[in-house]
Amino acid sequence: MEFLQGRALTNAIGNLELTGQYAEALKQLGHNLEDVASQEPDPALGNGGLGRLASCFLDSMATLNYPAWGYGLRYRYGLFKQIITKDGQEEVAENWLEMGNPWEIVRNDVSYPVKFYGKVVEGTDGRKHWIGGENIKAVAHDVPIPGYKTKTTNNLRLWSTTVPSQNFDLGAFNAGDHAKANEAHLNAEKICHVLYPGDESSEGKILRLKQQYTLCSASLQDIISRFESRAGDSLNWEDFPSKVAVQMNDTHPTLCIPELMRILMDIKGLSWNEAWSITERTVAYTNHTVLPEALEKWSLDIMQKLLPRHVEIIETIDEELMNNIVSKYGTADISLLKQKLKDMRILDNVDLPASVAKLFVKTKMKKGKLLVESLESIAEADEKTEPEEEENILSETTEKKGESDSEEAPDAEKEDPEYELDPFAKYDPQLPRVVRMANLCVVGGHSVNGVAEIHSEIVKQDVFNSFYEMWPTKFQNKTNGVTPRRWIRFCNPELSAIISKWIGSDDWILNTDKLAGLKKFADDEDLQSEWRTAKRNNKMKVVSLIRDKTGYVVSPDAMFDVQVKRIHEYKRQLLNILGIVYRYKKMKEMSAKDRIKSFVPRVCIFGGKAFATYVQAKRIVKFITDVAATVNYDPDIGDLLKVVFVPDYNVSVAEKLIPASELSQHISTAGMEASGTSNMKFAMNGCILIGTLDGANVEIREEVGEENFFLFGAHAPEIAGLRQERAEGKFVPDPRFEEVKEYVRSGVFGTSNYDELMGSLEGNEGYGRADYFLVGKDFPSYIECQEKVDEAYRDQKLWTRMSILNTAGSPKFSSDRTIHEYAKDIWDISPVIMP
């Protein structure tokens, strides 16, 4: 659904190894490369780690000569441009396309029809036909993805949406009804207006579902068209899975599964079994989250209205899945069977189909008392019951579902049984009917992978445990990675030159294992001196960036302490800023002399966007900027502490911040961050991490060495128990945590009301209460760990050694390694070298 590409110019000339020559050519024309490059806006096609990972993968696939494309949507206005005002975050539309995009090639000759609404009918040929409804056109826009030191240039194909000119209602226009005349065009074009449009309203939900279906339908039609043209007269659909691999990046492209089934059956004429076999062997799923709200659940009613044929296909997949579950677990333990069906069904809160519902029939034997007939008896009766009788029984039970309890029961002595369905088998009108997209991904694909070792274990043991029990070989791990081209070589040229000098070549750019060669020089004073100089020069660039974007003036002599990522409660920017508040309070309580003695100077830098409708995240942004406005103008504190929120964080900002960072915060509640990738970029650039044992932090700590990582906080296996302890009222907060909350409420940071924000950290139960993300629990551990950070930073020789060893320990976290693993273990593809 998103690709966070970053600027293309410096990446393209870097991958072509033309940076020096290009800069010289521009110089001769009177221009500076850096100034020219800065004119290119960041493409507004993504937001966070999901989109940036996809872009790193594109770079690695091209560099490693794998024949692979990316597919996405061409968002005109992006997510939003973030503006920071006295009221916190404000959002305006991105304008990245206003001057055109020289990096894209519009393929007006490559377009596909996409349908919404309508109805399904069966034709005389026995096939299902989806007819009527609203029809739009998806048009391809191709963005070249050049590899490093190779002729291979892959493609990122983005779809825009429109309708043919004849859909413009000329009659309505000439009659003065201009809005109606253009209605079809506007309805089509708005599909690609905004990334992740607000979905609080039913219109927003429909628009998001339209986006997801457009991506899946246009991309699959394109893939199938190329497959058919290459196969020519020797077309054999059984070859499709050996020629095509489709990787669904999170649950947004889940509709690939029913859409591929629809095309193969309804258009290409394959049987259900043939189409299912091909689909299952073609599609694979990468899970990127364990957060329940991020495992998409779509309203069945909305999907039924928008995509009626796909709902039919999903219903059949769901029924076949349930039959498989019954076959595996049998009917001896009805409680176990219920639990498995509840966990694994694709359709939630939907009547069980007759083939499964018959297992959950209750018999009314006595007045006022229900006895569950033994499953053995049901199975025995089932053998004697003709299908028509079975349907009659189920029909009868459905009719009885609405009967009043006060209705007089038949004479118990007659023991004339009356049948009714167990409520488990029936739809509850008080609850929504939903399609669980993640479950459909697991069922419909041949592979399911997590994106870090700890995350993949949580996927197997918790999120999809029942599926793992049924299909253990489907599940695997693919730890994320980042491209070393963009994230060291191009964004940090000075450090790159030092690495190449000390290793003896620049081979590490393609083979990051060679970075380990730095380990033997970690204590070398000459390397340490060069390393510190490079860091200082990068910090000077960020001093200018901060001044330009915020007006704040910061000292390059202070430690640069950075947390840049999507604003979310589980990522715990709130823990960071409360730690800063505690630090500030302690400073204010000391004399100037004691302050300087007790604290290392810091510039605490935040960046990231809060979703426009995520109220609590926006409160956190406002709080950070309020703290900054107080601390940064406090004459008692001076350069000892500065707080900066860099507005509109994007790839280009990251390319400056990451090389300059000295401490980077990755402090999510353990077990909640799937992987993270910015942690890898920071480590590669010699930044030391403070964090919890979460996501890829676990593997980074193993690779760089425990002594070169600042660890704090509860561990993932403890989290459920700690939440339970809180719910039971047994949690006793640390006095320092209570002290910092009271200080915030004292008004020292202005007149804003922080009751809602602080209230989320208090109480033992209730929505938005009870400190679900365990900020209070981890706070004492966090501030004690920060004291160790100060202590280590005072010894610059030790700190520089730790920094070098972070870079030397980061080879594993190249996306080249990740892509090799996908290619070998999931896609079954090999490199194709261009002649």
* pLDDT in the model for residue 582: 98
**Contact between 313 and 335 (Cβ < 8 Å):** no
Give the pLDDT band (50/70/90) at residue 765.
confident
In this structure, which amino acid lies at residue 281?
A: R
**Contact between 360 and 425 (Cβ < 8 Å):** yes
DSSP one-letter string for 245-281: -EEEESSTTTTHHHHHHHIIIIIT---HHHHHHHHHH
**Contact between 739 and 731 (Cβ < 8 Å):** no
Q: 563 and 475, same structural domain?
A: no
> Is residue 683 within a helix (H) or strand (E), and if so which, with residue range?
helix 678-684
Residue 410: other Cβ atoms inside 10 A: 12
Of 74, 666, 681, 801, the active-site residue reads: 681
The first and second tokens of residue 439, run together, are 């479950």
C-alpha 416/C-alpha 743 separation (Å) is 72
Residue 547 lies in a domain: no
C-alpha 728/C-alpha 270 separation (Å) is 57
pLDDT tens-place string over residues 434-475: 999 999 999 999 999 999 999 999 999 999 999 999 999 999
DSSP one-letter string for 449-466: EESSHHHHHHIIIIITHH
C-alpha 478/C-alpha 466 separation (Å) is 21
Q: 259 and 153, same structural domain?
A: yes
The total domain count for the chain is 2
Q: Domain range spanning residue 241? A: 8-301+435-479
C-alpha 416/C-alpha 493 separation (Å) is 86
C-alpha 280/C-alpha 277 separation (Å) is 5
pLDDT tens-place string over residues 350-390: 999 998 999 998 776 554 444 444 444 444 444 444 444 44
* Residue that is last in its domain, among 449, 479, 509: 479
Q: Which residues is 286 bridged to in the sheet?
A: 249, 449
Pairing of strands 88-92, 128-131: unpaired
As to burial, measured by CB atoms within 10 angstroms (0-12 exposed, 13-18 middle, 19+ buried), residue 758 is: middle
Residue 424 lies in a domain: no
Q: 114 and 31, same structural domain?
A: yes
Q: What is the mean pLDDT of residues 817-828?
A: 98
Of 81, 208, 288, 474, the active-site residue reads: 288
pLDDT tens-place string over residues 595-638: 999 999 999 999 999 999 999 999 999 999 999 999 999 999 99
DSSP one-letter string for 32-47: -HHHHHTTSPPP-S--
* pLDDT in the model for residue 362: 76
678 CB-side CA count, 13 A: 32
Q: 558 and 451, same structural domain?
A: no
> Is residue 63 within a helix (H) or strand (E), and if so which, with residue range?
helix 49-63
Q: 456 and 572, same structural domain?
A: no
The beta strands (E) that lie in 322-360 are given as: 347-348
The first and second tokens of residue 190, run together, are 């708005």
- Rounded to the nearest 10°, the torsion over CA 796, 802, 804, 805 is 160
* pLDDT in the model for residue 364: 65
Helix%, strand%, coil% for the chain, nearest 5: 50, 15, 35
Residue 707: other Cβ atoms inside 10 A: 12
* pLDDT in the model for residue 767: 80
Q: 270 and 179, same structural domain?
A: yes
* pLDDT in the model for residue 85: 96
Q: Is 262 a catalytic residue?
A: no
Residue 731 lies in a domain: yes
The first and second tokens of residue 479, run together, are 């730890």
Cα separation values, 169 from 112, 183, 305, 567, Å = 22, 9, 25, 44
The first and second tokens of residue 216, run together, are 């899946």
**Contact between 445 and 248 (Cβ < 8 Å):** yes
Return the CATH number at 287.
3.40.50.2000
Residue 373 lies in a domain: no
Pairing of strands 641-646, 602-607: parallel
Q: What is the mean pLDDT of residues 752-781?
A: 94
C-alpha 831/C-alpha 820 separation (Å) is 10
DSSP one-letter string for 761-806: TSSSSSTT-TTTT-HHHHHHHHHHHHHHHHHHHHSHHHHHHHHHHH
DSSP one-letter string for 359-428: GGEEEEEETTEEEPPPHHHHHHHHHHS-HHHHHHHHHHHHHHTT--TTSPPPPGGG---EEEE-GGGS--
* pLDDT in the model for residue 386: 45
Residue 577 lies in a domain: yes
Q: Is 681 a catalytic residue?
A: yes
Give the pLDDT band (50/70/90) at residue 531.
very high
Cα separation values, 580 from 380, 602, 631, Å = 69, 10, 10
Where do we find the tokens 């998409």? Answer: 296
Q: 584 and 450, same structural domain?
A: no
With left for phi above 0 and alpha for psi between -120 and 50, is residue 422 left, alpha or beta? Answer: beta
Q: Is 571 a catalytic residue?
A: yes
Of 210, 571, 777, 817, the active-site residue reads: 571
Residue 545 lies in a domain: no
Burial 486-502 (b: 16+ CB within 10 A, else e): bbbbbbbeebbebbbeb
Give the pLDDT band (50/70/90) at residue 162.
very high
Radius of gyration, alpha carbons of the chain: 30
- Rounded to the nearest 10°, the torsion over CA 65, 68, 69, 71 is -150
**Contact between 285 and 248 (Cβ < 8 Å):** yes
Residues with Cβ < 8 Å from 445, sequence gap 6 or more?
A: 248, 257, 280, 283, 284, 285, 474
Q: 623 and 724, same structural domain?
A: yes
In this structure, which amino acid lies at residue 799?
A: W
* Orientation angle between helical segments 735-745 and 573-588, nearest 10 degrees: 80
* pLDDT in the model for residue 421: 83
Q: 666 and 569, same structural domain?
A: yes
* pLDDT in the model for residue 417: 59
- What is the sign, positive or negative, of the torsion defined by CA atoms of 816, 818, 823, 827? negative
Q: Is 310 a catalytic residue?
A: no
Q: 468 and 585, same structural domain?
A: no
* Residue that is last in its domain, among 479, 510, 541: 479
pLDDT tens-place string over residues 557-578: 999 999 999 999 999 999 999 9
pLDDT at 99 over 70: yes
Q: Is 566 a catalytic residue?
A: yes
* Residue that is last in its domain, among 452, 479, 506: 479
Q: 586 and 466, same structural domain?
A: no
pLDDT at 399 over 60: no
Residue 773 lies in a domain: yes
DSSP one-letter string for 722-752: HHHHHHTT-----HHHHHHHHHHHTTTT-S-
Of 566, 572, 602, 609, the active-site residue reads: 566
Q: Which residues is 299 bridged to in the sheet?
A: 434
3-state secondary structure of 84: strand
Q: What is the mean pLDDT of the chain?
A: 93
Q: 191 and 277, same structural domain?
A: yes
Q: What is the mean pLDDT of residues 682-700?
A: 97
**Contact between 584 and 637 (Cβ < 8 Å):** yes
Residue 802 lies in a domain: no
* pLDDT in the model for residue 11: 97
In this structure, which amino acid lies at residue 692?
A: T
Pairing of strands 297-299, 347-348: unpaired
Residues with Cβ < 8 Å from 472, sequence gap 6 or more?
A: none
Counts of helices then strands in the chain (DSSP H, E): 35, 24
C-alpha 467/C-alpha 483 separation (Å) is 33
Give the pLDDT band (50/70/90) at residue 157.
very high
> Is residue 130 within a helix (H) or strand (E), and if so which, with residue range?
strand 128-131
* pLDDT in the model for residue 385: 44
Highest mean pLDDT of the ranges 381-385, 525-529, 752-756, 764-768: 525-529
* pLDDT in the model for residue 834: 86
Q: Is 677 a catalytic residue?
A: yes
